[in-house]
Amino acid sequence: MIRIQNITFYNYLPYYKEKVFDLSGKEGTTLIFGDNNMGKTSFINGIKFLFYNTLYKNPDNPDFNIYYNINRKAFAEKDYMFFVSLDFTYEGKEYHFIRRYRTKSDTIGSPKSDNDFEHDEIIKEGDKYFTERERKELINRIIPKNISEFVFFDGENVKKYIEILNDDSDSGAENRKVKEAINNVIGTPYLDSLINNLILIKKEYTDEFDHKLQQHSKDEKKKAEIEKLLIELKEKNSAKDTTKYLLAKTNDELNDVDKKLSNLTRSLSVYEEIGKNQANLDIENQNLENAEKKLKELLSTVAKNLLYDKLSDEKKRNTLIIEKLGTKINDEQKITQEIQQLKGLYKKQECPLCGSNISQDQEQKITQKIETLQKRKNEFSLSNEERNKYNLAKQKIERIDNLLKRGNVSPLQRNNIIQALLDIKMSNSKINEYKQKISRLKDELKDEKTIYDLITKRDMLTQKIKEYEETLQKLEQEINALSNKINNLRKRIKDVVGLDILEKKITFIERIINAFINIRENFIEEMRSKVEREANEIFLDFVNGLNNDIARVEINKNYRMSIFTRNGDKIPVPGTGYNTLLALSLIYGLNRNTHLFGAIFFDAALSNLSNNYTRNVIRTLSSYAPQLIFLAHKDRVDINDVIRVLGGQIVNQFEIYQNGDAFNTNIRRL
Amino acid sequence: MNNRSIDKILNNIREAFYEIDVEINQDFLLKLLECEMLISDPLEKKIDLKQLIELEVKRHD
């Protein structure tokens, strides 16, 4: 419980320099009264400033809010420090609490913004200074900001409660704020927070469970995969063994073939020789082909030259024929002439020499000679065949002469052709030689046919060995990869345990959450009922002797209050004054049923209440609060009446006033 | 929040316990609530709440 000893303002708003309210002494009600604008609201706000560092906002310069909180007169006099301090006891311990703003040492001239100020928050218990964390904890313990509405009963707060009384909905920011404050003071947030924490813990368990379940499922998948891989590995190993066996067997076969082949060295050399000769034969065939090609090319270019030679020869041959046959023809012609001469003589019968007539004897001799010549002529006479031959030769010579006129063959061309012909001849000769050799060598190998089979087999075996070796290498790689994969999978298996325990925890925490949800609902209803009871009681005290028709008040789940008459009728729209009473009743009900119990600052506007009601209110509140600081407007509340009503309950009386200076509020203890 | 305040709220909430029918040990539920109210550090609070729950689950086993 907080018990305030004294409150000091220094240059805070209208409080110029240091102004102290000494509240030490007996417990009870402190009455502070004054006119408008004398500093009553600033008093309450000063306490809020002290606890929560709430500053008035500067609408003209948001960077210089302090200017709206510091006393203007002091500011003008260059006294830039302001503070509010409190001496109080709490739980039997004495504390000094001060909140102060002052200019920084390096500020030159008058401050221009909040940045030119430094801020101190000091709480001392005896000589012990509290750390920031300790200060925060202590403030939160004494008057947490979120329930300050129940300690500072100023006009604003009461107005908020009146609003809630007229609004049964959950909407409206102010409504929600007040309801939140009610829940705070009741303690519902503890249950809310606990439920939230339990939900968070449940989520942790659920996440862990899901994670483990997922892991478990992954493990199962991994195990199944390992099984599959092991089968594959077994198959690969089996294939490896088979391949190894086949490789060894093929190597043995190759060794056998090699052995057999080594016994056939001669055959091998013959085979090689055949190969060489065959290669030479191929080369020579190519040479022949080239030579023939070359000859063809030469012949095509020197055909005419070649023809010349042949034609010359042909001309010679035909010339000889003509010469030979021509001689015969000449001889025949000579004999014919001679016969003609003799025949002429015979006709004249005179001697050509003497002109005398020839004798019979002479005539006989001439006839004989003609016959002899005729015989000779027949000898020289050409046969038809010879005549045709002669004529043909003559024609040929004539045609050859015509052809020979057209050109001649150069010696170089002739030599080239001759060389080409020689090459062809040589190639043909060599080809024959190689063919004969190959034939001879093959004859040698007639009995060695197995060598072909062996060589073919050897090639086949070598190829097989190569394939087996490649297969083995591939299998080795696959086996290694599979083994690594299996090992990795085995390493990644977590072997999840504790799923059943987690399931139990989740089920259990769900039951706890449900229990607390029910408890919360029950608790809220219980508290509403309790608050209603206390509010009803005080409300009846407020109206006691003033309105005997009021029977009770009710508070619904939204903390809306209704007034019922003795006949059970509900007053549909309570007047403003009754609403103020209802709001005060609600606050009272909440205070009575919660942990709040201590000093109360009461700055409620009571102008809408008659003197009688005001009297009842002040009396009731004074009797309730151990320390009530009641701030009253001098013109709206009859101070003398209040003093009379409260009598001995008033332990301090202060009047706040100003002597024509709006920035210098003075305090007078009465 | 001082102990007296906590006691006051706890008492109020405890009264709400009797109205409901839960098959969970009420002392255990109150311990959870006390833990929630007394420990200010959220992490520490969660650890303690968890411990309480796990102990209760073990006890049931």
Question: Cα distance from B31 to chain A (closest Cα, Å)?
Answer: 11
Contact A515 B60 (CB under 8 A): no
Q: Which of B20, B36, B40, B60 minimizes the C-alpha distance to A192? A: B36
Backbone dihedral region for residue A99 (phi beyond 0: left; psi -120 to 50: alpha; all else: beta):
beta
Contact A526 B19 (CB under 8 A): yes
Average pLDDT of A592-600?
68
Mean pLDDT of A211-221: 87
Residue B18 has pLDDT above 80, yes or no: no
Greater confidence, B7 or A89? Answer: A89
Closest CA to A114 of A171, A55, A169, A27: A55
d(CA A134, CA A164): 36
Both tokens assigned to A481:
């990869």
Q: How many CB atoms lie within 10 A of CB A548?
A: 10
What are φ and ψ of residue A353, in 5° steps? -90, -40
CA pair distance A620, A537, nearest whole angstrom: 11
Q: Determine the average pLDDT of the residues in A192-209.
A: 93
The answer to whether the complex's ipTM is over 0.90 is yes
- Contact (Cβ atoms closer than 8 angstroms) between residue A152 and residue A603: yes
- Classified as helix, coil or strand, A108 is coil
pLDDT at A147: 65
Nearest one of B42, B52, B35 to A191, comparing CA atoms: B35
Is the pLDDT assigned to residue A167 strictly greater than 70? no
Res A152 pLDDT > 80: no
- Which of chain A's residues have a Cβ under 8 Å away from the Cβ of B12? 186-187, 523, 526-527, 530, 593-594
- What domains appear along chain A, each with residue ranges and CATH number? 1-148+641-670 (3.40.50.300), 266-447 (no CATH)
Res A357: pLDDT: 63
The larger pLDDT score, comparing residue A611 to residue A516, is at A516
- Please report where in the chains the tokens 């809408």 appear, as a residue: A608
pLDDT tier at B52 (50, 70, 90 boundaries)? Answer: very high
Nearest to A187 among B13, B19, B53 (CB): B13
- In this prediction the pTM is 0.54
- Contact call for residues A437 and A290 (beta carbons, < 8 A): no
Residue B16 and residue A522: Cβ atoms within 8 Å? yes
Question: Bigger pLDDT: A669 or A401?
Answer: A669
Q: First-to-last CA distance in chain A?
A: 27
What's the pLDDT at A234? 95
Q: What is the pLDDT of residues A90-134, one digit of tens each?
A: 878 899 999 999 999 887 888 999 999 999 999 999 899 999 988
Give pLDDT, residue A646: 80
- Residue A150 — pLDDT band, cuts 50, 70, 90? low
Tell me how far apart the alpha carbons of residues A188 and A198 are, in angstroms, rounded to a whole number: 15
A517: Cα separation from own chain's centroid: 44
Q: Is the dihedral of CA A337, A343, A344, A345 positive or negative?
A: positive
CB contact under 8 A, B29 and A593: no
Nearby residues of A492 by Cβ (< 8 Å), 6 or more positions away: A222
Instruction: Tokens 């004495």: give the residue.
Output: A94
Q: Is the pLDDT of residue A20 over 70?
A: yes
Look over chain A and give the mean of its residue pLDDT values, rounded to a whole number: 85
Closest Cα of chain A to B11: distance in Å? 10
Strand partners of residue A601: A152, A629
Min Cα distance B59 → chain A (Å) is 12
CA distance A144 to A332: 175
Chain A CB contacts of B32 below 8 Å: 194, 198, 512, 516
Which residues of chain B lie closer than 8 angstroms to A530, CB-CB? Answer: 12
Which of A321-325, A478-482, A610-614, B31-35 is predicted with the least confidence, judged by mean pLDDT? A610-614
Of the spans A443-447, A488-492, B8-12, which averages the highest pLDDT?
A: A488-492
- Cα-based angle A73, A77, A82 (whole degrees, multiple of 5): 65
Give tens-digit pLDDT for A229-277. 999 999 999 999 999 999 999 999 999 888 877 767 666 777 788 889 9
Statement: residue A621 has pLDDT above 90? no
Give the helix ranges, DSSP H, for A405-498. 411-444, 450-492
**Residue contact A518–B9, C-beta within 8 A:** no
Number of residues that make up chain B: 61
**Mean pLDDT, rounded, for A178-192:** 81
Residue of A nearest to B30 (CA): A516
> Above pLDDT 90, what percent of chain A?
33
pLDDT of amino acid A615: 81
Closest chain B C-alpha to A186 CA, distance in angstroms:
7
* Lookup result for tokens 């200010």: B40
pLDDT value for A373: 85
Length of chain A: 670
Which residue among B1, B29, B32 places its CB closest to the CB of A141? Answer: B1
Q: What residue in B sits closest to A91 (Cα-Cα)?
A: B2
Which range in A126-140, A239-253, A481-495, A617-631 is most confidently predicted, on average pLDDT?
A: A239-253
To the nearest whole Å, the CA of B2 is away from the closest chain A CA by 6
Nearest by CB: B49 against A137, A187, A197: A197
pLDDT at A54 over 60: yes
For β-strands A15-22 and A599-603, DSSP reports them as: unpaired
* Cβ contact, residue pair B13, A186, below 8 Å: no
pLDDT bucket at B2, cuts 50 / 70 / 90: low
Report CB contact under 8 Å: A519, B13. Answer: yes
Could you tell me the pLDDT band of residue A603, with boundaries at 50, 70 and 90? confident
- Confidence band, pLDDT 50/70/90 cuts, at residue A358: low
Answer yes or no: is pLDDT of A356 > 60: no
For residue B33, give the chain A residue with the closest CA.
Answer: A194
In the block, residue with structure tokens 């259990």 = A508
pLDDT at residue A170 in the model: 57
pLDDT exceeds cutoff 80 at A420:
yes
- Distance between CA atoms of residues A619 and A544, nearest Å: 12
Residue A86 phi/psi, 5-degree rounding, is -140, 135
With contacts defined as CB-CB under 8 Å, which chain B residues touch A526? 12, 15-16, 19
pLDDT at A396: 85
Query: Structure tokens of A504?
Result: 């139990």
Supply the pLDDT for residue A355.
57
| Res A207 pLDDT > 70 | yes
**Interchain contact, A527 vs B32, CB within 8 Å:** no
Residue A2 is predicted with a pLDDT of: 77
Mode of pairing for the β-strands spanning A28-34 and A599-603: unpaired
